[in-house]
Amino acid sequence: MADGEHLFDESFLAQDAKPSAVASAKPVRERSDAPSPHGSDSAAEGISIRVQPTYLPSHSDPSRGRYIFAYHVTITNDGRERAKLRSRAWTIVDADGTSHDVRGEGVVGRQPDLAAQERFEYSSFCPLPTPWGTMEGAYTFERADGSRFEVPVRRFYLVGPRERG
């Protein structure tokens, strides 16, 4: 199971739901958008990460146990040194307690290299067989001197439709 990787055939997704990325070299401004109650904010080593998850009912099929969630990630270099995102590691847990670990290089096929005060945003998705689950993990970054460090991504919640009982 993965963030944008192929657990399910993604042909059922509309173009706007496929993984995408937007880099911004604009100076960081005060964040005015409030985080989702299901999202997360993390920071370490001068890097801050905000995740905003969303359920995609138009791409889901609950009768077949297919729940699709998108998540938008904003990575901001609040520090003074350049940092390049090298890899990601996710732990995804569905409502049945089944856990999947996903590791890979970069995000959405890129390894953003962020100068001080730059940010990178991307959207991806996660299919689950249950109407809710969680994701958490870490990004590994590399400085210009070759030193590496991890920035944790705090747990965020993938929340779909409530089951009727």
Length of the chain: 165
Establish if 146 belongs to a structural domain. Answer: yes
Spatial CB neighbours of 25, under 8 Å, sequence gap ≥ 6: 115, 118
Establish if 27 belongs to a structural domain. Answer: yes
Establish if 97 belongs to a structural domain. Answer: yes
- The answer to whether residues 73 and 49 touch, using CB atoms and an 8 Å cutoff, is yes
Tell me, what CATH number does 88's domain have?
2.60.40.1470
As for how many domains the chain has, the answer is: 1
Tens of pLDDT, residues 99-157: 999 999 999 999 999 999 999 999 999 999 999 999 999 999 999 999 999 999 999 99
| Full domain range(s) for residue 146 | 18-159
Establish if 10 belongs to a structural domain. Answer: no
Establish if 114 belongs to a structural domain. Answer: yes
